[in-house]
Structure 1
Amino acid sequence: MQELIGTGVALVTPFTANGTVDRDALKKVVQHQINNGIDYLVVLGTTGESVTLTKEEKQIVIDTVVSVNDGKLPLVLGVGGNNTQIVVEELKHIDKDNFVAVLSVSPSYNKPTQEGIYQHFKAVSEASPLPILLYNVPGRTASNMSLETVVRLAEFDNIIGIKEAAGDLVQAMNLIQYTPKDFLVISGDDMIANAMTLAGGAGVISVIGQAMAQDFSDMIRYGLNGDVAESYELHYKIAPSIDMIFEQGNPAGIKALLHHLDLCDSKVRLPLVSVDQNLNDRLKTFLDQYEN
């Protein structure tokens, strides 16, 4: 799927002061992506705090993003969990008209074996009316999808790629080498996104790209074109902010940065908390220096 090569952004879900979904701010965030070179949007992923949204709130987020996007960028919908049966049921009722693919995270907490992960995604593949991107993020799931498991899953026609967020460049390179040529190996780790792209990856689903949209998406375009020096110049320009936004957890860091850009409030939902004043000040200083 050529439309998922480049820079995707995992959208935040902005909240108002009283904790409800802030539709107006979400519209501003989406418009910022459209205006600044982002290639596609991921709705209701981890960064969107999907695990603490009600079913009704998820629908509000979907309706808002679809409305303001108005067909401009391809949309990917996050649908995942550690109860295979519930994920399968959810897939039967998703919006097939406005989304081009599903991003589905490997089951967390119950720590399945590699065979369990395979069987989970086999069931997901059979149930999904849309193409599937696997999502490997061991830091959240407590299990790593092995190369062998991903290669097996790549045999399913509608499993088209993986968001690889183990933070392991060697593992990513092995995925690029041993999966089919048209299988998308997408970075889920902003710090090694450029390196993965230059190694033959398909780009990134980014968090920092949501704030530094133009430069980050340009960096990935340079990487896809093999323009090493140009891509790394932008990487090193952006890199300090990547460390900072993850220092006290995601999406607290990126929401603080988006707040400084006047795009949305920095409020997150418990058990997450906003960044402390020290980090907030450092993010503001970075942004002030970045823009000058």
Structure 2
Amino acid sequence: MSLSGLYVPLITPFAADGTVALAALERLAHDVLDAGASGVVALGTTGEPSSLSPVERAQVLDLVAAVCLARDAQVLVGANDATSLGSLKATAALTLVPPFVRPGEDGVVAYFRALAASSAVPLVIYHVPYRTAQPLSVATLRRLAGIPGVIGMKLATGAIDADTVALLADPPPRFAILGGDDVLISPLLALGAHGAVLASAHVATAAFAELTRSGDAGLGLRLARLSAALFAEPNPAVVKAVLHADGRIPTPDVRLPLLPATPGVRDAALAAGLGAAGPISAGTAVVP
């Protein structure tokens, strides 16, 4: 199985009455696939899964999986425990390095070895140490890549550090490295990342998809400015505010502990993603 190109971790849109806006979610999934995404992520952190009820999570997953099945597109699903992984129907599971407990590098390897052995689908490890508080050396990243059933990693270290460079300079065979830092995606692709998982790509999806194909540095710089504006407040508040302003979702609402984007930040993101050509939709290929 090969993972490459652009994957959009879908937000969960909410209706005015607070319920999940399933029709809007379905449109978003089709929009990003129409614009060139290789696939989507359901129930990733951008989708606010911890704020969803079990019924809502099942509704989201069923809908997104059905869209991807009909479109012959890949779907990654945020899943972090043996119960979820044992019955999951998806291309792969996006599984977080255990947060907060800091089990050490040997503990992380043992954890993923056990999860992969019990999972119904392959695993893509989500390594985001500035959130999990668990750093991993390049040697440990290579150990993880060698676990049967682990097929890739969303790499989001927050910097282009020495371990990132070493990993991308000599990537493990048959192991997809997907960049997960939106602002840094252009240099990550230039160093050899196979693709990207980007919440920013809800906006100007076609441009981000083109970046994963071409690596165009000028396009990457323009998109980095857009990503910086979209991440100026906790994700996905600003993304939702922009999508709502563009008429693509019914409300900009997020659920606690997140708060809606402040008007100034929303307007700055709109300015980054809007120009003389008018609204930036999923299909717009160039960012001003």
- Please give the TM-score of this superposition, normalised by the length of structure 2: 0.91
Task: Specify the code of the residue in structure 1 equivalent to 2:173.
Answer: K
Structure 2 CA distance, aligned partners of 1:281 and 1:193? 24
Tell me which residue corresponds to 1:205: 197
1:182 aligns with 2:181: no
Determine which of 249, 270, 279 is the counterpart of 1:284.
270
Secondary structure, in 3 states, of the residue corresponding to 1:190? coil
Task: Specify the code of the residue in structure 2 equivalent to 1:216.
Answer: F
Is the 2:88–2:121 contact (alpha carbons within 8 Å) kept by the matching residues of 1?
no
Secondary structure, in 3 states, of the residue corresponding to 2:152? strand
1:253 aligns with 2:252: no
Tell me which residue corresponds to 2:257: 271
Task: Specify the code of the residue in structure 1 equivalent to 2:210.
Answer: D
Determine which of 158, 172, 188 is the counterpart of 1:167.
158
Tell me which residue corresponds to 2:73: 73
Q: Residue by residue, what CA displacement relative to the aligned partner does 1:156-185 show, whole Å, maximum 9, x if unpaired?
A: 121111100012223322222344232111
Decide whether aligned partners of structure 1 residues 124 and 54 sit closer, same or farther in structure 2, where only a CA change above 3 A counts: same
Q: Residue by residue, what CA displacement relative to the aligned partner does 1:237-267 show, whole Å, maximum 9, x if unpaired?
A: 2222211111111111211121122211211
Give unmatched runs, 5+ long, in structure 1.
81-86, 224-230
Q: Residue by residue, what CA displacement relative to the aligned partner does 1:66-108 show, whole Å, maximum 9, x if unpaired?
A: 233323311111112xxxxxx112211212xxx1111101111
Determine which of 109, 114, 117 is the counterpart of 2:108.
117
Q: How does 1:227-242 map onto structure 2 within 5 Å?
A: 231-242=216-227
Structure 2 CA distance, aligned partners of 1:92 and 1:277? 43
Is the 1:111–1:143 contact (alpha carbons within 8 Å) kept by the matching residues of 2?
yes
How far is 1:290 from its partner?
Answer: 6.5
- Please give the TM-score of this superposition, normalised by the length of structure 1: 0.89
Q: After alignment, is 100-109 or 65-74 more displaced?
A: 65-74
Tell me which residue corresponds to 2:85: 91
Count of matched residue pairs:
275
Is the 2:183–2:225 contact (alpha carbons within 8 Å) kept by the matching residues of 1?
no
Decide whether aligned partners of structure 1 residues 239 and 177 sit closer, same or farther in structure 2, where only a CA change above 3 A counts: closer
Structure 1 CA distance, aligned partners of 2:243 and 2:253? 11
Q: How does 1:94-173 map onto structure 2 within 5 Å?
A: 94-95=88-89, 99-170=90-161, 171-173=163-165
Give unmatched runs, 5+ long, in structure 2.
279-288
Structure 2 CA distance, aligned partners of 1:190 and 1:154? 23
Structure holding more helix per residue: 1
